[in-house]
Amino acid sequence: MVCGMTNTGLAAIAGESRIVTRSAWSRQRDGVSIRDPSRRPMSMRVILATAILSLFATAHAVEAERLPAWLLELPASVGEILIADAEDAALYRFENNGHGIVQLDERYMSIGRNGVGKQRAWDRKTPLGIYFITEELDTSRLHDKYGDAAFVLDYPNAWDRYQKRTGDGIWLHGVDRNDPQRPPLDTDGCLALPNEEIVRIAGDLQPLVTPVIVARELQWAPASDIAVTRAEFRRALARWQTTINEGDVAGYLSLYAADFRQQDMDKNAWSTWRANVFAARGDSGIALRDVLLLADPEEAGLFLSRFTQVMVYDGQEVQTQKRLYWRRNGAQDWQIVTEDHG
């Protein structure tokens, strides 16, 4: 990055994704071409200044080709995504607006009084990982400490259960109106925002849609690297779908890791059950809609695919929302370690 320059107005373009600040749109709209024929010939000083600005712009263009490292693919159905940066006590909000991924804003946030990395009930730590808002609560029926709005997160998710983490009741909420000034380490494990801030974003948070990524620190990655990972992930998911549509039981089960677990089933029990499902279903195929692809912020090599699975059963279309947690061992070696619905 060039010394003294800010990130305002940078645009990052990566295949289907890019990140653009609102001021960038304004400058592009209001900018004046240096080739305007109504202007006088440029002096040497102007030429040098233009050259220097061009170098700055080039440096910014290189830096702009970076995106939040975990956002691999967002469907149109996901309008916003939240990323909690525990180290900076900041909650970032990104918008998926059809032009790409736009950083909308950031706001102060408190987390668990014992930090992050929740493992068990009442350890007063905030969990790290990929979560989804499941419902909005009526705060008039809650303790004053939850403030003006409260949203439930789906901790523990399938990966947390796989790791045998315990506890529940992790929310995104406001603060006590009578004691609003809260330190960064303050809650029993929840994410807490100032009341005016959570009210400001509450209308855009959709239960069962809005993802909330909780990380130690927001990480950025070159857009080209994200595009490569996205393509690999898409191929793995396509193989999974193809094995189902072709009735390839062996191929399907090969995509599940030896240490796969789903609730009380290990790989052997899962294999027996799924083989019976394949035999009973016959020629029914599936389609995938609203595919969301994310990388886990804490577990290296762990990825989540979330989508709506559509199939026709007895002449009726049946839709199921599925989540597959994948472990990436190499470019051609992706395997599912656990999965669930919702």
pLDDT cut 70: percent of the chain above it: 81
pLDDT at 12 over 60: no
Percent of the chain clearing pLDDT 90 (strictly above) = 74
Residue 60: its pLDDT value, please? 40
Q: Which has the closest alpha carbon to 182: 170, 205, 159, 198?
A: 198
User: What pLDDT does 282 receive?
Assistant: 66
**pLDDT above 60: residue 25:** no
- Residue pLDDT, tens place only, 228-266: 999 999 999 999 999 999 999 999 999 999 999 999 999
Least confident of 14-18, 118-122, 166-170, 323-327: 14-18
pLDDT score for 331 = 75
Token pair for residue 294?
Answer: 């994310």
Which of 121, 94, 115 is CA-nearest to residue 191? 115
- Distance, in Å, from the CA atom of 310 to the CA atom of 320, rounded to the nearest integer, reads 7
Q: What is the pLDDT of residue 50?
A: 52
Residue 147 has pLDDT above 90, yes or no: yes
Is domain 71-220 annotated with CATH 3.90.1640.10? no
> 14 pLDDT exceeds 50?
no
Which range among 9-23, 78-92, 152-166, 278-292 shows the weakest confidence by mean pLDDT? 9-23
Looking at residue 73, its pLDDT comes to 97
What pLDDT is attached to residue 104? 96
Spatial separation of the C-alpha atoms in residues 313 and 285, rounded to whole Å: 10
**Quick one: pLDDT band at residue 30, thresholds 50, 70, 90?**
very low
Q: Is the CATH number of domain 221-341 3.20.20.70?
A: no
Stretch(es) of the chain classified as CATH 3.10.450.50: 221-341
Phi-psi region of 301 (alpha: psi -120 to 50; beta: other; left: phi over 0): left
Q: Once rounded to an integer, what is the mean pLDDT over residues 296-310? A: 98
Tell me which of 313 and 84 has the higher pLDDT.
Answer: 84
Q: What is the pLDDT of residue 65?
A: 73
Write the CB contacts of 250 (distance below 8 Å, at least 6 apart in sequence): none
Residue 318 has a pLDDT of 93
**Mean pLDDT across the chain, nearest whole number?**
85
- Res 99: pLDDT: 82
Rounded Cα distance, 175 and 33, in Å:
49
Annotated active-site positions, please? 173, 190
Are the beta carbons of 10 and 63 closer than 8 angstroms?
A: yes
* pLDDT of 23 above 50: no
Write out the residue limits of the CATH 2.40.440.10 domain(s) in the chain: 71-220
SS3 for the chain is CCCCCCCCCCEEEECCEEEECHHHHHHHHHCCCCCCCCCCCCCHHHHHHHHHHHHHHHHHHHHHCEEECCEEECCCCCCEEEEEECCCCEEEEEEECCCCEEEEEEEECEEECCCECCCCCCCCCECCEEEEEEEEECHHHCCHHHCCCEEEECCCCHHHHHCCCCCCCCEEECCCCCCCCCCCEEECCCEECCHHHHHHHHCCCCCCCCEEEEECCCCEEEHHHHHHHHHHHHHHHHHHHHHHHCCCHHHHHHCECCCCEECCEEHHHHHHHHHHHHHHHCCCCEEEEEEEEEECCCCCCEEEEEEEEEEEECCEEEEEEEEEEEEEEECCEEEEEEEEEC
Distance CA 21, CA 11 (A): 7
**More confident site: 190 or 14:** 190
